[in-house]
C-alpha cells in the first residue's frame, strides 16, 4: 500500500496559511537564485506499507519545496490495494503502535 498526499491545504486549514503567501518571511532560510525571497510551495507526505510472510516494511517521507512564489496545490493521492485487512507496526520495546490502519476494500 502506498499513499501520497499534498499537505498544503491541510496546513492552511490548521492555521498555517501565512506560510503559503508571497509575503511570508523566510529570510532566515536564504534567498532564491534571482535574489527574491523564499516562499513555501508544495508540502507532500508519502507513506508506504508492505506486509508479507517474510516481514513488514514501512516507510514515510515528507517534502516541502521552496519557491519564489508560494502556491497551494490541489490534493493528490494514489492508493493501490488488493483486499480488506488490518495492519499495524508496533514498537516491541514499548508495545505501542507506531503505525496502524484498516483497509476495508475499494
Share of the chain above pLDDT 70, in %: 75
Mean pLDDT across the chain: 75
What is the structure's pLDDT at 105? 61
Q: Write the pLDDT tens digit of every residue in 55-93.
A: 888 888 888 777 764 433 444 556 565 667 777 777 878
Is a pLDDT exceeding 80 seen at residue 14? yes
DSSP assigned state of 16: I
What are the backbone dihedrals phi and psi of residue 20, each rounded to the nearest 5 degrees, phi first? -110, 25
* Closest C-alpha to 100, from 88, 91, 90: 88
- CA distances from residue 92 to 88, 89, 98 in whole angstroms, order as listed: 12, 9, 10
Amino acid at each position: 500500500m502506498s499513499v501520497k498526499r499534498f499537505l498544503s491545504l491541510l496546513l492552511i486549514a490548521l492555521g498555517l496559511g501565512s506560510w503559503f503567501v508571497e509575503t511570508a518571511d523566510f529570510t532566515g532560510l536564504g534567498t532564491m537564485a534571482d535574489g527574491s525571497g523564499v516562499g513555501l510551495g508544495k508540502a507532500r507526505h508519502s507513506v508506504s506499507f508492505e506486509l508479507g510472510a517474510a516481514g513488514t516494511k514501512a516507510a514515510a517521507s515528507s517534502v516541502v519545496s521552496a519557491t519564489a512564489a508560494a502556491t497551494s496545490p490541489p490534493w493528490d493521492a494514489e492508493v493501490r490495494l488488493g483486499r480488506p485487512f488490518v495492519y499495524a507496526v508496533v514498537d516491541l520495546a514499548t508495545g505501542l503502535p507506531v503505525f496502524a490502519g484498516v483497509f476495508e476494500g475499494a
